[in-house]
Amino acid sequence: MRGIKIEEAELRIVRLPLLKPFTISTGTMHDKTFPLLILRGEGLEAYAESVVDPLPDYLEETIASGMVLLREVYLPQIVGKRFEHPHALEPILSPWRGHYMTKAVVEMAFYDLFAKSLKLPLQTYLGGSGDRVNVGVSLGIMPLEETIAKTQEHLDKGYKRIKLKIMPGHDVKIVEAIRARFPDCPLSVDVNSAYTLGDMNVMRALDCFRMDYIEQPLAHDDLHDHATLQKEIITPICLDESIRTAAHARKAMTTDATRVINVKVGRVGGYGEAIRIHDLAESFSVPVWCGGMLESGIGRAHNIHLSTLRNFKKPGDTSSASRYFPRDIIHEKLETEKGTMPVPQGLGIGVSLDWDFLETVTLSKEVFKA
Ligand code: OSB
Ligand code: MG
């Protein structure tokens, strides 16, 4: 039996200061706090971060609930064991309800370890190709003048799509102004679930701006109302929060509740499910793109490798790390050039931790040994 043995796991909570607060319809982030998982085995070391937030604002999971699962269930069950293939983790992860973000961090770290054990870049192991991926930016909610200036700045830098965060009361006027100033720019909005079918007037007004898609306009756990909405508007709906599994994706695509999918490997429980969603979407001729959660360089590197799969046909959200953080926890600079992000070279995710800096932003650290 080959595969690789997980000899040790290190679980940290990391808090990285943000350059500026980031506001979406559910609230404002002042820093990026996340679980970081390090797996060691056979002389190799692998990394992943979880996209779970301290409080359940984007989805239901919290760091606290995820830490319980990691500490009491997942890490004790994988440390000291050899796994022949990443799919061998599924029987350990899948019996527990929900917690896709927590499942993902375990699975993603193991993919990094496994690719390293095969001496392959993660991209190659996943079946992706190309050495750069197309990216746009996600602009948080801010005053109109600032939104205009930021849109100009990022278009000048070559970013391939501008996504505006909007919310009730900060929607049609801002999109109208941006569309008037930038008539040809690829444009989308992300609502993070802030509307209901009662807001059809806003939806119809937003439908007039030739946007690429409207991301997650309605409830985070709803598919049916999105299907109803899609019958009323021309702009494609793109689901983010509502798709946590391939089964959700199947139901959304068969009912025309989504015509584009935002795939976040950290939201859907890991690469196994992300690839199933990616492949299923391709069979429906539904393009996907890779979203982000303001990840540090570790999560960013994972996202970039995933984005090299062939049905990632629209620009992703993995923009330059320097847009968000004064300093990152990895040595490599993940910076875009002309709207493309280079795929980190090397084995696995291809980036390395800056241990000295990591120590200064670590809130807690636990080590699990066999
Ligand atoms: O819905 O895509 C989202 C950030 C935090 C929470 C949710 C979302 C986002 C983003 C940021 O849009 C994308 C990025 O990482 O730049
Ligand atoms: Mg989104």
Q: How does residue 2 score in pLDDT terms, banded at 50, 70 and 90?
A: confident
- Which sequence positions are flagged as catalytic? 165, 264
The residue ranges of DSSP E strands in 92-211, in sequence order, are 132-134, 137-139, 162-165, 187-190
pLDDT over threshold 80, residue 1:
no
pLDDT tens per residue across span 168-223: 999 999 999 999 999 999 999 999 999 999 999 999 999 999 999 999 999 999 99
Q: What is the DSSP letter of 215?
A: E
Quote the mean pLDDT of the chain: 98
Q: Residue 162: which of 170, 154, 174 has the closest Cα?
A: 154
Structural domains in the chain, CATH included, are: 4-119+352-369 (3.30.390.10), 124-342 (3.20.20.120)
Give the atom of ligand 1 at the shortest distance from the alpha carbon of 324: 16
Residues with CB under 6 A from ligand 1: 24, 58, 138, 190, 192, 240, 291-294, 317, 319
List the residue whose alpha carbon is closest to atom 9 of ligand 1: 293
Contact 60, 52 (CB under 8 A): no
> From ligand 2's centre to the CA of 23, what distance in Å?
12
> From ligand 1's centre to the CA of 163, what distance in Å?
10
**At a CB cut-off of 8 Å and minimum separation 6, what does 149 contact?**
none
In sign, the C-alpha dihedral spanning 144, 147, 153, 158 is negative
CA–centroid distance for 171 within its chain: 24
Tokens of 282: 């391709």
How do strand 132-134 and strand 8-24 relate by DSSP bridges?
Answer: unpaired
Contact 9, 45 (CB under 8 A): no
Full-model pTM:
0.98
Q: Select from 51, 52, 302, 317 the residue to mutate for testing ligand 1; criterion: most ligand atoms less than 8 Å from CB.
A: 317
pLDDT tens per residue across span 252-310: 999 999 999 999 999 999 999 999 999 999 999 999 999 999 999 999 999 999 999 99
Give the atom of ligand 1 at the shortest distance from the alpha carbon of 216: 1
